[in-house]
Amino acid sequence: MSKPVFVISAPFDTYSGYGARSRDLIKSIIELHKYDVKLLPQRWGETPINFCIEHDEWKFLFSHMVQSVDIQPDIWMQVTIPSEFKPIGKYNIGCTAGIESTGCDPTWIEGLNRMDINLVSSNHSKKIFSEAKFEQKNKQTNQVVGVLKLDKPIEVVFEGVDIEVYKHLESKDITLDLKKIKESFCFLFVGHWMNGAMGHDRKNVGLMVKYFFEAFKDKKSPPALILKASTGRNSYMSRETLLDRVLSIKKTFGKSKLPNIYILNGDFSDEGINQLYNHPKVKAMVSFTKGEGYGRPLAEFGMSKKPIIASGWSGHVDFLSPMNVTLLPGNLEHVHNSAANQWLKKETKWFQVSSKHAVDSFIEVFKNYKQFIPGGRKQGYHIKANFNFDKMQELISSILEKNIPDFPKQLELNLPKLDLPKLNLPKLEKIK
């Protein structure tokens, strides 16, 4: 008996958060052995491609890759932002990382409603989408004629950590060379330094750097901060941009003696990132993010069993236990014009950590590090037990089993305007 044809349109070959999410979903579905999985590759804005070619463990995806399909898929899954969702299959699944602020564009709700079911990464995203409401007005009279809201099912499927890759390593097993870093105590940040004026980029890297300088300026033997960061562009250009941004913040401190910041730019393998997480010089991860659909690096780093400092709002609080990590208080504020775009609306709000608590958290973890080690260990066990890849796969299997109907025997069809290379899907643009 033939298996249902399951076509997945996704940016699985890109170096991006959506790329990582796509690969995990695809692998999970393939390993269920219930579907004939076919993959349609997509770009993701300006992010680099060829991830699978450059990582042997993912080359198997190419055996499922097609450039087109000549039958209507039984199941169609599209991994992108919701406004791009198009129902192509007999049963249609939309998958998105979600939303980082308190609201979304109405076109996202329209896109979600075009699918039979939608998958998001966190309870935060589900809440925002589920509560979104927009007035529908008559264009001629401007009178309210209805309300646009989500009327299709939405399920949370967390991004499971591969515990075979991300795991605690002993110092003797680490080959990553960080000899140029002279400090033995380093905080680590992993993520993009995105668009936005000082203090208004989504990952809040600018203010994190400022708070780090404030915490340890003019101090004897201070710790260092490692930025495993990029701007999502060419590695050289990205590094130069990051250096310029750090130097501009440095200048605001005048003649103060400031702690060192090191920039790690370029591509790391999953194993290389795990070595960075576990390196003896890396003592804790820090993220003052304004909002996350999930916050994948925080979950991965948790497996190192080291302390974590993070904002206390949005997607990552699903898996970061306040009993085990430092979750910082703060307030919601409007998205700044410099960070807003067609999807991230300035009318919506996101999180800003308390400056005092941010500065104090750096100092406290550095001064009293041993007190934070037990929490780091517990967080590692929490991730391993509840947010691993196998648990995610079980969840996906359960959702598909519960929702996808039985299909009749597949027929060869001539589908006008459904030639998939010419689907006229809008270009995928990175959410900045």
Residues 277 and 331 in one domain: yes
Q: How confident is the model at residue 424 (pLDDT cuts 50, 70, 90)?
A: very low
Q: Which of 74-83, 320-329, 334-343, 393-402 has the lowest mean pLDDT?
A: 334-343
Asked if residue 97 has pLDDT above 90, the reply is no
- Over residues 95-115, mean pLDDT: 94
- Together in a domain, 376 and 417: no
> Could you tell me if 246 and 288 lie in one domain?
yes
**64 is a domain residue:** yes
Query: Within this chain, do residues 79 and 215 fall inside the same structural domain, yes or no?
Result: no
Give me the percent of the chain exceeding a pLDDT of 70: 92
Same-domain check for residues 186 and 70 = no
Q: Are residues 334 and 409 in the same domain?
A: no
pLDDT of residue 2: 85
In this prediction, residue 155 carries a pLDDT of 97
Query: To the nearest whole number, what is the mean pLDDT of the chain?
Result: 91
183 shares its domain with 154:
no
Identity of the amino acid at 132:
A
User: Does 209 share its domain with 111?
Assistant: no
Q: Mean pLDDT throughout 94-102?
A: 92
Weakest mean pLDDT among 56-60, 192-196, 313-317: 192-196
Supply the range of the domain harboring residue 39. 5-159+389-422
412 belongs to a structural domain: yes
Closest by CA position to 310, among listed 190, 213, 158: 190
**What is the reported pLDDT for 232?**
61
Confidence bin at 252 (pLDDT 50/70/90): very high
User: What three-state secondary structure class fits 168?
Assistant: coil
For residues 374 and 418, membership in a common domain is answered with no
Mean pLDDT lowest among 1-5, 180-184, 198-202, 236-240: 236-240
What DSSP string runs through 262-297?
Answer: EEE-S---HHHHHHHHH-TTEEEEEE--S--SS-HH
Q: Rounded mean pLDDT of 338-352?
A: 91
| pLDDT reported for residue 409 | 60
Q: Are 11 and 79 in contact (CB under 8 A)?
A: yes
Q: Which amino acid is at 48?
A: P
Same domain, 374 and 394: no
**Region 207-222 average pLDDT:** 98
Domains contained in the chain, number: 2
CA distances from 141 to 56, 145, 260, 337 (A): 59, 10, 61, 31
pTM higher than 0.85, yes or no? yes
Mean pLDDT of 297-312: 98
pLDDT bracket for residue 231 (50, 70, 90): low
| Residue 125 to residue 66: CA distance in whole angstroms | 31
Residues 397 and 374 in one domain: no
pLDDT at 350 over 60: yes
What is the per-residue pLDDT for 34? 95
Tell me which residue of 381, 408, 240 sits closest to 321, measured CA to CA.
Answer: 381
Query: Residue 376 belongs to a domain with what CATH number?
Result: 3.40.50.2000
